[in-house]
Amino acid sequence: MTLDREASNVMELGVIVSDIVNESRGTLTIILSEANDNRPIFQSSTYDIQIAENTPVGTTLFRASATDADTSTGGVVKYSIDEVTPNAGSSLFSILPTTGEVTLTGPLNYTSLSTFYRLKINATDGGGKCFYDTINYLSSIAFSFITIQDVPDLDPRFIGIPYVGTVKENSPLNTAVLKVTALDQDTGVNDAIIYSIEESTAEGLFTISGKDGTISVLSYIDREAIGDTVTLTVKATESNANIHEVQATATAKVLINIEDVNDSGPKFYKCVDGRNCVEESHFTGEVDEHWLGSISINMTVRDLDKIADTILTLEGKDKAVFSVQPSSTTSDSVVQLQVKEPQNLDFEEKQQMVLQIIATDRGNPTFQSTATVTINIKDTNDNSPKFPQELYKLNIAENSAVGTELDTITADDPDTMDQGNLTYRLLPDSILPYFDVQPRTGKVYVKNSTLLDREVRTLFSATLQASDTDDKPGSTVLEITVTDINDNAPIINRDNYREFVKEDQNLELKIEATDADDSETENSQIVYSIEPSKYSNNFTIDPETGLLRNTGKLDREALDPKLNGMIELNVTASDKGVPSLSTTVPVFIIVEDINDNTPQFKAPSYKFSVKEGEKGAFVGSVQAEDLDQTAEFNRISFSIIEGSFGSFIIRTFADQRGYRGNITVDPDIELDYESARKQFQLQVEAMDLEQKKATVMVTVDVLDVNDERPEFKPTPPVAVKENFTISESVGSFTGQDKDGNHSLVYELESIKCRCNGAVEPCSWFILDSTGEVRLNPEDTVDYEECDQVVIDAQVVDEYTEKGENNSVTTGQMVINIEDINDNAPEFIFSDSVFVVVSESASKGTSVAAVTATDRDSGINRQIDFKVTEVQFRNDNNQTSTMRILFDAVTTQQKDVYVGIIQTSEKLDTSLKGKYLVKVSATDTGDLSTSTILEIFAVDESFRVELAFTKSQSVVEANLNDITRSLTAATKASVEIASIRTDTTEASRVSGNTIIVAYFVYANGTALSFNEVEKMISEPPHSLALIELGLADIGKAPVIEPVTDPVRYILLGMLAGLIVVLAVLTTSLMCTRRNYKRKLKAAKAMNSAAIVTSDNQKSGPVVPGTNKYTMEGANPVLNLNINAAMILDMDEDSSDVDKVSLNSLDSSGYMTNPDKDKLMNIIQEEEEGDRGPSEYIEPLGAALAHRGQKKGSDNHDIGFSNPIFSTTDL
């Protein structure tokens, strides 16, 4: 029994207290406390409304209401909107958390925003405890579908802009130019548009149709008068008033280009400043003699037509001298004359020429104009200056004063305008820093005495140029030679000399100098000498050759160490000129050291002591020195060559004099007094870079120190089940210490959990100082959260005297968390909308899917889905329980289980509404969760039939293209229910194939017949579907059968014969069941023989039957016989027996030994002429034939009964 406070919050129990002998009865009242075990329940599953797009912000749209059966905070419901679809509408709606009132918080727009919104409303209770100490919050979901209705609030909009049209000038009136189109942006209203022209750059030329927006010609058009374009302002006005009670309008610009026709000829114009042009027929121009180029005559040719094609030609006596440019043109062009024969433009021969320019229009019709051009020829300067000589040779001493004249040179020019007007200059410009010329006189002079240096340059070449008034040049060459003076001191070819020589070797160094003065004079002869200095007596130099040598042995150690072996000398080079000039150069001689000294220790032996257990401890220092001056040879390195046993290292350091070797304990080694070595005898070696060595003995005593560190023993992995609550330890760390006196304490370094593959800190366990690991009572171990815990700890020796008191490495304990089945499956939320087309959903059709996961692992997380309940909620919101129409098929995709919901039988196509399918997810531990799927049913009222003119095989082959075209036209999913051949001749459209389809949107709504017909009728979708063979769309056509009376008469007769044969066959089988019937038939034959015709009852026959009006009449023999008495049939005889006697088939069957066919054939009256019967009565004849053998001659016998007609059959 489950305790439910909402059913009863008080329970009374009968209680008996007994001491074995006596007992006492009482009542125990139990008051149930509240637990949050009820979800809020919405009073309605959906809240669907329609609102206008201009609904004011702040309007309350509806109120969602949910109730919770719990009390206290668990019964308080708060509302929220979890999701708005589309997501852009999230800011448009809000809900009051306490009342559930949904309010519009943002403006709507049917055109630019969505026309449909789906609100996912969440109702969550105030939370409370249920079964556990944690607070649970329960919630429910309801959906609201909000449809936006359009209102006329937008102006119309022109489409296809910009509008540009073209019309020829002189076009007939009412010629259509172009068509403008405007649409109502309120697509849900779609008012009719009225068009008008508001403005025009040329009034009265065009008009517009108010209905369809066609612009046409209203009056005569002259492009030359109005220009190339006309701009119209067109207005579109909606036919109905908008929400502001005015008719909305929109305007657009229309540009109409006026096409030109050839109705004007070319003409010549004279223009001022290129703008003010007047028509002219005579033009003048000037040109210099021998000119080669164009001549401007200020002529412009123009054709007022937009498209012109003008040819320009020349006429006249001198036309061969010129050409006209351009020779042809299609626009306004400036005309110039181009000189072709400049040699004929000679002022001395002819001063003026007259030409005619002819402009011809090559259009249709052709126009022509002629202009006269007069060209005046001007005289020009056509001679250049000329010098008397082509070369002049000049001399000048170096360092001559500025202004010193070299020579005066002039040129002649025969042109009269250039007499006395020549100017002179020196070329190139690089000569001007040295020399220049007076421009008018031709005097060449010195410009800079300093730069005039023979040692730098002895010869200059320049060009003297003379120019006339037109800058026509003439030139001659100047060759200038610079003579020498003694003005240069000797130059040593280096700024300094640096020579290296090893000590004990000889130096030979040649000092070289040059003198720039003339080599043929004493000014360039050089003498070398050494200036006195500290070490100059140790060297000598040859005064003629400059060869420098040492006079004694070079010893590096004899030099001042501060000089680093470098000796500086000053060598002088002097010339023999008057006055004598000299130059001094420093010479640096570096005496290179050689390794001629051995390292020496400063003490014969050394003794030190060091404490054990100190890594890298300093032991002591040894000193040594090498007398060589350079570090290359006096650098000493120390090494321990014997006695260290890997426990000591020595490092070399530079000292004030020599080097120092610091001996330390190896940083990776701890000396142990308890070991066998308490003293070390080290042999230390000092060695320079060239392996010259010295050794010394160093004694090191080890001092005792307590320095052992504790260490961990290996800790095996531990396994713990999740959710355990034991207080005992789950495991422990164990340490050890080599020191006899120790106290070990364990300290926690870190606790890390492996959660979802990532390692992160956690606090699930506690480490005691004794090393025991226990569960942290404040935490719960959850396998689904973390599956492994790693604990790192340190062990510390509290009695350690020196050194580290903790273990070198941390101890580690791995705790593996084992899973138990403590989590029920969890459905993964999906906002998918499931739809099923009832007609196309056969058994096994997948209509929906659910997904779920289980936080447990292994077999505990395996999930199985099952449909436990199916309900149907119709459009009137009435819910009814149905049989299980769906099955759940469980599949797995990685870590997620998927339940595919399939139909288990054919669905009812007439149901309108949605299926509420309850699906449960159960794991292997029988923990389960359920959810309810809403599957919208599309009933047969949305059935649409499409007729195609192609055969069924062709339609099936093109089915993918047909489906894509239908989807593109309707934007809906197309469900094909069936494809069949249409053979109806009376069909309204003669299609060969019918496709039955449904058009469904993702939100569960379906398109009706009218909606589909409207959508697929729009171009270009209709064209694509027509190409695929679509003939018509309509309801299922009613097939009217073609009436064929003859066919149905024959079918009726055939059916009647089948019934008769069935009755006769049944009668024959009943006859075989009773052998007594044969005896009764024999008696009947005897009775028939004694009955006369007077006993036969005759009477009228009942029409259409085999009955007679007289009682007891036999329908076959027409005899009035008491069958019951004659054939010994008493009251106990069965009706079957009586029927058998009244049947002609009975006796016939008995005479037929062949069981496979009827031997007794009943013929019609007209077939009864085979001959007289051998027997008087038919019954007697039938009984007589019973005894015939198979081999006897048998003939088919027919009996005629005048009363038994085909009507009876």
Q: Read off the pLDDT of residues 386-437 as tens digits, 9 standing for 90 and up.
A: 999 999 999 888 888 898 998 999 998 877 777 888 999 999 999 999 999 9
Count CB-CB contacts under 10 A for residue 986. 10
- Distance CA(181)–CA(394), nearest Å, equals 95
> In this predicted structure, what is the pLDDT of residue 473?
92
Cβ-Cβ contacts under 8 Å for 555 (sequence gap 6 or more) = 503, 504, 591
Tokens standing for residue 1024: 């694509």
The position carrying tokens 């517009």 is 208
Q: Are strands 744-755 and 758-761 parallel, antiparallel or unpaired?
A: antiparallel
> In this predicted structure, what is the pLDDT of residue 1050?
83
Tokens standing for residue 852: 């779920």
> Is omega for the bond preceding 1020 within 30 degrees of 0, making it cis?
yes
> In this predicted structure, what is the pLDDT of residue 624?
92
Q: Are strands 731-732 and 637-642 parallel, antiparallel or unpaired?
A: unpaired
Cβ-Cβ contacts under 8 Å for 646 (sequence gap 6 or more) = 666, 669
What separation in angstroms does the CA of 377 have from each of 295, 346, 355, 864, 949?
11, 8, 14, 114, 91
Q: Are strands 139-149 and 49-52 parallel, antiparallel or unpaired?
A: parallel
Q: What is the DSSP letter of 1036?
A: P
Tokens standing for residue 390: 């082509």
What separation in angstroms does the CA of 608 have from each of 359, 636, 664?
124, 22, 11
> In this predicted structure, what is the pLDDT of residue 913?
87
What separation in angstroms does the CA of 648 have from each of 643, 661, 682?
9, 12, 9
**What residue spans of 880-1001 are helical by DSSP H?**
952-957, 959-970
600-601: strand order across its sheet: 600-601, 618-625, 659-665, 648-654
Q: For residue 1125, which amino acid is it?
A: M
Read off φ and ψ for residue 1092, nearest 5 degrees.
-90, 170
- Distance CA(657)–CA(650), nearest Å, equals 19
Could you give the 3-state DSSP secondary structure of residue 950? coil
- Distance CA(251)–CA(158), nearest Å, equals 8
Most distant pair of Cα atoms in the chain: their distance: 204
- Rounded (5°) CA angle 1120-1125-1126: 70
Residues of the chain with pLDDT under 70: 1-2, 4, 6-7, 131-132, 274, 348, 704-707, 739-741, 984-991, 1032-1045, 1070-1209
913-923: strand order across its sheet: 834-837, 928-938, 913-923, 863-874, 879-882
What stretch of H or E contains 406? Answer: strand 405-408
Tokens standing for residue 653: 């350091």
Tokens standing for residue 109: 């727009």
Among 248, 245, 252, 254, residue whose Cα is nearest residue 206: 254
> Is omega for the bond preceding 1115 within 30 degrees of 0, making it cis?
no
Among 812, 846, 815, residue whose Cα is nearest residue 917: 846
Cβ-Cβ contacts under 8 Å for 492 (sequence gap 6 or more) = 511, 512, 513, 571, 573, 583, 585
Q: Alpha-carbon torsion 432, 438, 439, 441, what sign?
A: negative
* Helices 1009-1016, 959-970: inter-axial angle, 10-degree rounding: 100
> In this predicted structure, what is the pLDDT of residue 1164?
33
Count CB-CB contacts under 10 A for residue 565. 20
Beta bridge partners of 645: none
Side-chain-side CA neighbours of residue 896 (13 Å): 11
Tokens standing for residue 1092: 């006369």
Encode pLDDT of 10-63 as tens digits: 788 888 888 888 888 888 877 777 777 788 999 988 899 999 989 999 999 999
DSSP letters of 134-146?
Answer: SEE--EEEEEEEE
- Distance CA(1022)–CA(937), nearest Å, equals 29
Beta bridge partners of 1156: none
Question: Do residues 482 and 398 lie in contact, with contact meaning Cβ atoms separated by under 8 Å?
Answer: yes
- Distance CA(664)–CA(700), nearest Å, equals 11
- Distance CA(230)–CA(222), nearest Å, equals 11
> In this predicted structure, what is the pLDDT of residue 888?
92
What's the N-to-C CA distance of the chain in angstroms? Answer: 76
> In this predicted structure, what is the pLDDT of residue 1071?
63
- Is the whole-model pTM more than 0.75? no
- Distance CA(307)–CA(259), nearest Å, equals 9
- Distance CA(331)–CA(928), nearest Å, equals 91
> In this predicted structure, what is the pLDDT of residue 1035?
47
Q: Are strands 282-288 and 328-329 parallel, antiparallel or unpaired?
A: unpaired
CA 429 to chain centre: 69
